[in-house]
């Protein structure tokens, strides 16, 4: 086993987990290579679902993938740890010590050797150095942060409901900074929560007591998507009584309010930062690997890093060029999924002495889900190159299928079908919102 080519993938997000699943089934199962996944947590949840976990409309425990169990089934190895260093000369990475909840060291700092290294550590929120953001904002970069948000939200609703029962002022202003897909979808999920929670005992609290605002620095929400989609999303948010501020950069976050650049102050009991992303800072300190201003590793079109032929990177943490475009591949889940497919082919070819495969991004469109209210989006025509606007049940079907495709990549069609059936049963048996 020690003589086998060792492929190490750091990061068990959507792309990283799909990649090791295919490599394990193709190579490790047949003893053609050794495949190891490294991640700082024990379970995987599809990142585009975190806003639903935060609002309580999705129970994360039924949608988690346990890395150890999944590794055993798909023939790869899993190590729990956070990458902190790289020695390209000896081809080793360093993992930080792992501590339990009480601060006791469980596993000391250690090194892992590789023959081929793949970095897929995703991204974190970019607060652009805004004063008060780190101190007073909530973020949705991880499952732990989503669960923290959910608990704080339930307590805030409970507190406001109690105040209403005492005939005290009962207002709960919630502010979302950033009107990309996450910010817009979170606003819709929070509006659903404000209407559902009174049914479960918080009957003194009215939906109108919960004010939800979305602030966007650009001149429209969803600035990276087509204008028609942005306009439809704006109308839907307004229909759900969500206040939209555009062309309003935020200059400071305070404990109880948000200050905009023009001096306008907006009261805020809960402030969520959903504006912009960047790659983790530690990537800029990895033994001379080239990074850009957003901390992303610079890679060629084959996803190989610019400074090392044995190290690849993909997903949000990599700046991959697109042919005939000055912009790199956008940091989206569909891009990571496509890159995982391409890199799988490259790594299989690499063992056989074959060529690397160039990655060409295919934009299949964008979908924005407004909780149980509606879904809007545009689908890109592969033949005509034109986009088709869709909404309602058809758009919702396409939106749900994105997650099911991810599950098929991890579990296969049969197991995904069983998971889908269990999801339907759980939704019929349990409340619409997670209440704890």
Confidence of residue 207 (pLDDT cuts 50, 70, 90): confident
On the question of a common fold for 6-123+279-351 and 133-275, the answer reads yes
Q: pLDDT value at position 383?
A: 38
Instruction: Evaluate whether 70 touches 21 at the Cβ level (below 8 Å).
Output: yes
Helix axes 14-23, 333-351, angle to 10 degrees: 30
User: Is the dihedral angle over the CA atoms 302, 308, 313, 317 positive or is it negative?
Assistant: negative
- CA distances to 75, 88, 331 from 294, rounded to whole Å, are 35, 22, 12
Residue 187 burial class via C-beta count within 10 angstroms: exposed 0-12, middle 13-18, buried 19 and up:
buried
Residue closest to 159 by CA, chosen among 170, 148, 151: 170
Please spell the DSSP secondary structure of 377-403, one letter per residue. Answer: EEEE-TTT--EEEEETHHHHHHHHHHH
Half-sphere exposure (CA, 13 Å, Cβ side) for 375? 19
Instruction: Evaluate whether 351 touches 27 at the Cβ level (below 8 Å).
Output: yes
> Could you give the CA distance from residue 57 to residue 186 in angstroms, rounded to a whole number?
10
Q: Inform me whether the pLDDT recorded for 114 exceeds 60.
A: yes
> Could you give the CA distance from residue 320 to residue 317 in angstroms, rounded to a whole number?
10
For the chain, give the mean pLDDT.
92
Residue 413 burial class via C-beta count within 10 angstroms: exposed 0-12, middle 13-18, buried 19 and up:
exposed
> Could you give the CA distance from residue 174 to residue 258 in angstroms, rounded to a whole number?
10
Q: Inform me whether the pLDDT recorded for 366 exceeds 70.
A: yes
Q: What are phi and psi of 240, to 5 degrees?
A: -90, 15
Q: pLDDT value at position 152?
A: 95
Residue closest to 408 by CA, chosen among 329, 332, 337: 337
Q: What are phi and psi of 366, to 5 degrees?
A: -135, 145
- The more confidently predicted of residues 324 and 305 is 305
Question: Considering the entire predicted model, what is its pTM?
Answer: 0.92
Confidence of residue 384 (pLDDT cuts 50, 70, 90): very low
Q: What is the mean pLDDT of residues 267-282?
A: 96
Domain ranges of the chain: 6-123+279-351, 133-275, 365-429
Task: Provide the CATH topology of domain 6-123+279-351.
Answer: FAD/NAD(P)-binding domain (3.50.50)
Instruction: Evaluate whether 79 touches 86 at the Cβ level (below 8 Å).
Output: no
pLDDT tens, 215-261? Answer: 999 999 999 888 889 999 999 999 999 999 999 999 999 999 999 99
Continuous segment of H or E residues that includes residue 65? strand 65-66
Q: Does domain 133-275 have CATH number 3.50.50.60?
A: yes
- CA distances to 18, 45, 175, 363, 418 from 414, rounded to whole Å, are 17, 20, 42, 28, 6
pLDDT tens, 393-422? Answer: 888 888 888 899 999 999 999 999 998 898
Q: pLDDT value at position 386?
A: 64
Express the helix, strand and coil content of the chain in percent, nearest 5 each.
35, 25, 40
> Could you give the CA distance from residue 243 to residue 333 in angstroms, rounded to a whole number?
28
- The more confidently predicted of residues 376 and 187 is 187
Q: pLDDT value at position 396?
A: 83
Beta strands at 172-177 and 270-273: parallel, antiparallel or unpaired: parallel
Confidence of residue 97 (pLDDT cuts 50, 70, 90): very high
The total of other beta-carbon atoms located within 10 Å of residue 421's CB is 10
Q: What is the mean pLDDT of residues 190-213?
A: 88
Beta-ladder partners of 339:
none
Question: What's the chain's length in residues?
Answer: 436
């Amino acid at each position: 086993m020690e003589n086998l080519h060792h492929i190490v993938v750091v990061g068990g997000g959507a792309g990283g987990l799909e990649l090791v699943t295919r490599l394990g089934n193709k190579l490790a199962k047949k003893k053609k290579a050794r495949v190891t996944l490294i991640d700082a947590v024990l379970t995987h949840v599809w990142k585009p679902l975190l806003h639903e976990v935060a609002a309580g409309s999705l129970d994360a425990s039924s949608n988690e993938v346990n890395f150890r169990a999944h590794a055993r089934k798909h023939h790869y190895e899993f190590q729990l740890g956070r990458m902190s260093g790289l020695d390209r000369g000896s081809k080793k990475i360093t993992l930080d010590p792992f501590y339990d909840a009480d601060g006791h060291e469980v596993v000391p700092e250690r090194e892992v050797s590789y023959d081929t290294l793949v970095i897929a550590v995703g991204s974190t929120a970019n607060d652009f150095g805004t004063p008060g953001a780190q101190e007073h904002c909530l973020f949705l970069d991880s499952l732990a942060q989503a669960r923290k948000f959910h608990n704080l939200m339930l307590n805030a609703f409970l507190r406001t409901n109690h105040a209403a029962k005492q005939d005290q002022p009962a207002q709960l202003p919630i502010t979302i900074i950033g009107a990309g897909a996450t910010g817009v979808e979170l606003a819709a999920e929070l509006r659903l929560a404000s209407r559902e929670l009174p049914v479960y005992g918080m009957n003194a609290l009215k939906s109108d007591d919960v004010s939800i605002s979305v602030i966007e620095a650009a001149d429209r929400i969803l600035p990276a998507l087509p204008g028609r989609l942005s306009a439809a999303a704006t109308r839907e948010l307004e229909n759900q009584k969500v206040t939209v501020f555009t062309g309003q950069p935020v200059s400071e976050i305070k404990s109880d309010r948000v200050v905009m650049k023009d001096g306008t102050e907006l009261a805020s009991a809960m402030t969520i930062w959903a504006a912009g992303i960047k790659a983790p800072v530690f990537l800029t300190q990895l033994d001379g690997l080239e990074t850009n201003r957003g901390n992303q590793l610079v890679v060629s079109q084959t996803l190989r890093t610019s400074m090392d032929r044995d190290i690849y990177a993909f997903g949000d943490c990599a700046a991959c060029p697109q042919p005939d475009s000055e912009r790199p591949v956008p940091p989206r889940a569909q891009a990571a999924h496509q890159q995982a497919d391409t890199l799988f082919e490259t790594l299989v070819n690499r063992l056989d002495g074959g060529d690397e495969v160039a990655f060409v991004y295919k934009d299949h469109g964008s979908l924005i889900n407004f909780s149980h209210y509606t879904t809007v989006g545009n689908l890109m025509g592969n033949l005509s190159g034109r986009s088709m606007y869709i909404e309602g049940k058809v758009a919702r079907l396409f939106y749900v299928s994105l997650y099911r495709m991810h599950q098929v990549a991890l579990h296969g069609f049969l197991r995904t079908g069983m998971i889908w059936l269990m999801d339907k049963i759980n939704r019929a048996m349990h409340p619409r919102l997670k209440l704890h």
